[in-house]
Chains A and B, each alone.
Chain A
Amino acid sequence: MNTEDIRNLLTSSIFSNIDRRKLEEVIKDCEVKGFNNGDYIFRRDEYGDVCGVILSGMVRVEIPKKISAFTNNKILLQKGDLCGEIALLSGHQRIADVIGFMQPLRVLFIPKDVLHKLTDTFPLVKDRIDQRYRERVLFSFLRNLPIFKDIDDAFLKELVLKATIHTYRKNETIFRHGDKADGLYFIRFGEVKIYEKEKAGKEEVLAFLKEQQYFGEMAFFGSKRVRTANTVASCRTELVKIPADYFQIMLQSRPDIKRVIERIVEQREDRNVQAHTDDSLKKTLSTVLDSGVEQDSYLILIDLSKCMHCDNCVKACAAMHRGYSRLTRRGMKLNNIILIPTSCRLCDDPTCMSKCPTNSIVKDLSGEIYHKDTCIGCGMCERNCPYGNITMYELPASASKKWSGGNHSADNGDSKETNMPGKRAGTCDKCKGRKYYACVYNCPVGAVRRVDPEEFFTLITTIG
Chain B
Amino acid sequence: MFSKKWPVLFGVMLSCLISSYVLCIYTGVFANSKLPVAIYGILGICFIIFLGLYNIRLKIYGFAMGSAHGWLVAHIYIGVFTVFVIIIHANCNISGLISIITFILFLVVVLSGIIGLLIYKSVPLSLSKYGRDVLSANEIKKRITKYQEELGTSITEMTTDSRKFYEKYLKSVFKAKRIKFRYLFMLETEIINRQTMKFGKDMNNLPEKEIYVMELFINHIVEIEKLRFVLAKTKLIRAWLNIHLPLTGAMVVFVIVHTISTVYF
Residues of A within 8 A of B (CB): 302, 304-312, 314-316, 319-320, 329-331, 333, 336-337, 339, 435-436, 438, 440-447
Let me know if A329 and B134 touch, CB within 8 A: yes
Segment at the interface with A among B121-129, B152-160, B162-170, B254-262? B121-129
Let me know if A447 and B68 touch, CB within 8 A: no
Residues of B within 8 A of A (CB): 1, 58, 61-62, 64, 67-69, 71-72, 119-120, 123-125, 127-131, 133-137, 230, 233-234, 237
Let me know if A307 and B69 touch, CB within 8 A: no
| Interface CB pairs A-B, < 8 A, 20 | A304-B128, A305-B125, A306-B1, A307-B128, A308-B123, A309-B134, A309-B230, A309-B233, A309-B237, A311-B136, A320-B61, A330-B134, A336-B128, A336-B129, A336-B131, A339-B134, A441-B67, A442-B58, A442-B67, A446-B67
Let me know if B124 and A307 touch, CB within 8 A: yes
Given the complex of chains A and B, what is the CA–CA distance between A314 and B139 in angstroms?
12
Let me know if B71 and A305 touch, CB within 8 A: no
Known: A444-B71, A445-B69, A446-B1. A336 touches B130 (CB 8 A): yes
Q: In whole Å, how far is A331's beta carbon from the nearest beta carbon of chain B?
A: 8
A441: which B residues are within 8 A, CB to CB? 67-68
Let me know if A444 and B69 touch, CB within 8 A: yes
Given A304-B131, A444-B71, A444-B72, 11 new contacts (CB under 8 A): A304-B134, A305-B124, A307-B134, A309-B136, A309-B230, A309-B234, A339-B134, A441-B67, A442-B61, A442-B68, A445-B124
A337: which B residues are within 8 A, CB to CB? 128
Q: In whole Å, how far is A441's beta carbon from the nearest beta carbon of chain B?
A: 5
Q: In whole Å, how far is A164's beta carbon from the nearest beta carbon of chain B?
A: 46
Q: In whole Å, how far is B95's beta carbon from the nearest beta carbon of chain A?
A: 38
Given the complex of chains A and B, what is the CA–CA distance between A319 and B123 in angstroms?
26
Q: In whole Å, how far is A37's beta carbon from the nearest beta carbon of chain B?
A: 43
A306: which B residues are within 8 A, CB to CB? 1, 124
Given the complex of chains A and B, what is the CA–CA distance between A262 and B190 in angstroms?
55
Let me know if B127 and A316 touch, CB within 8 A: no
Q: In whole Å, how far is B217's beta carbon from the nearest beta carbon of chain A?
A: 25
Let me know if A329 and B69 touch, CB within 8 A: no
Let me know if A304 and B124 touch, CB within 8 A: yes
Q: Which of A316, A337, A438, A444 has the most CB of B within 10 A?
A: A444
Known: A309-B230, A309-B234, A315-B61. A447 touches B130 (CB 8 A): no
A304: which B residues are within 8 A, CB to CB? 124, 127-128, 131, 134
A436: which B residues are within 8 A, CB to CB? 64, 67
Q: In whole Å, how far is A435's beta carbon from the nearest beta carbon of chain B?
A: 6
Q: In whole Å, how far is A458's beta carbon from the nearest beta carbon of chain B?
A: 23
Q: In whole Å, how far is A328's beta carbon from the nearest beta carbon of chain B?
A: 9
Q: In whole Å, how far is A146's beta carbon from the nearest beta carbon of chain B?
A: 35
A444: which B residues are within 8 A, CB to CB? 58, 68-69, 71-72
Given the complex of chains A and B, what is the CA–CA distance between A331 and B132 in angstroms?
10
B67: which A residues are within 8 A, CB to CB? 436, 440-443, 446
Closest 7 CB pairs of A and B: A336-B131, A304-B128, A329-B134, A446-B69, A330-B133, A319-B61, A316-B61
A319: which B residues are within 8 A, CB to CB? 61-62
B62: which A residues are within 8 A, CB to CB? 319-320
Let me know if B1 and A445 touch, CB within 8 A: yes
Q: Which of A302, A306, A443 has the most CB of B within 10 A?
A: A306
Known: A319-B62, A442-B61, A447-B124. A308 touches B130 (CB 8 A): no
Of chain A, the residue at the smallest CB distance from B62 is A319
A302: which B residues are within 8 A, CB to CB? 134
Given the complex of chains A and B, what is the CA–CA distance between A304 and B67 in angstroms?
19
Let me know if B125 and A445 touch, CB within 8 A: no
Task: Say which residue of A309, A311, A312, A314 sits within 8 Å of B68 (CB atoms).
Answer: A312
Of chain B, the residue at the smallest CB distance from A442 is B68
Of chain B, the residue at the smallest CB distance from A448 is B69
A311: which B residues are within 8 A, CB to CB? 136-137
Of chain A, the residue at the smallest CB distance from B233 is A309
A445: which B residues are within 8 A, CB to CB? 1, 69, 72, 120, 124
B58: which A residues are within 8 A, CB to CB? 312, 442, 444
Let me know if B131 and A333 touch, CB within 8 A: yes
Q: In whole Å, how far is B119's beta carbon from the nearest beta carbon of chain A?
A: 8
Given the complex of chains A and B, what is the CA–CA distance between A337 and B58 in angstroms?
25
Q: In whole Å, how far is A368's beta carbon from the nearest beta carbon of chain B?
A: 21
Q: In whole Å, how far is B241's beta carbon from the nearest beta carbon of chain A?
A: 9
Known: A436-B64, A444-B68. A305 touches B128 (CB 8 A): yes
B230: which A residues are within 8 A, CB to CB? 309
Of chain B, the residue at the smallest CB distance from A319 is B61
Known: A305-B128, A311-B136. A443 touches B64 (CB 8 A): no
B125: which A residues are within 8 A, CB to CB? 305
Given the complex of chains A and B, what is the CA–CA distance between A441 and B125 in angstroms?
22
A329: which B residues are within 8 A, CB to CB? 133-135
A331: which B residues are within 8 A, CB to CB? 133
Of chain A, the residue at the smallest CB distance from B66 is A441
Q: In whole Å, how far is A301's beta carbon from the nearest beta carbon of chain B?
A: 12
Of chain B, the residue at the smallest CB distance from A310 is B237
Given the complex of chains A and B, what is the CA–CA distance between A231 and B234 in angstroms?
45
A336: which B residues are within 8 A, CB to CB? 128-131
A442: which B residues are within 8 A, CB to CB? 58, 61, 67-68
Q: In whole Å, how far is A316's beta carbon from the nearest beta carbon of chain B?
A: 4
Given the complex of chains A and B, what is the CA–CA distance between A336 and B14 in angstroms?
39
Task: Say which residue of B61, B71, B133 sits within 8 Å of A438 (CB atoms).
Answer: B61
A308: which B residues are within 8 A, CB to CB? 119-120, 123-124, 234, 237
Q: In whole Å, how far is A28's beta carbon from the nearest beta carbon of chain B?
A: 52
Given the complex of chains A and B, what is the CA–CA distance between A311 and B138 in angstroms?
11
Given the complex of chains A and B, what is the CA–CA distance between A284 and B149 in angstroms?
37
Let me know if B237 and A435 touch, CB within 8 A: no
Of chain A, the residue at the smallest CB distance from B123 is A308
Of chain B, the residue at the smallest CB distance from A339 is B134
Known: A319-B62, A336-B128, A438-B61. A443 touches B133 (CB 8 A): no
A315: which B residues are within 8 A, CB to CB? 61
Given the complex of chains A and B, what is the CA–CA distance between A302 and B127 in angstroms?
13
Of chain B, the residue at the smallest CB distance from A447 is B124
Given the complex of chains A and B, what is the CA–CA distance between A442 and B72 in angstroms?
11
A446: which B residues are within 8 A, CB to CB? 1, 67, 69
Of chain B, the residue at the smallest CB distance from A328 is B133
B1: which A residues are within 8 A, CB to CB? 306, 445-446
Of chain A, the residue at the smallest CB distance from B138 is A311
Of chain B, the residue at the smallest CB distance from A313 is B134
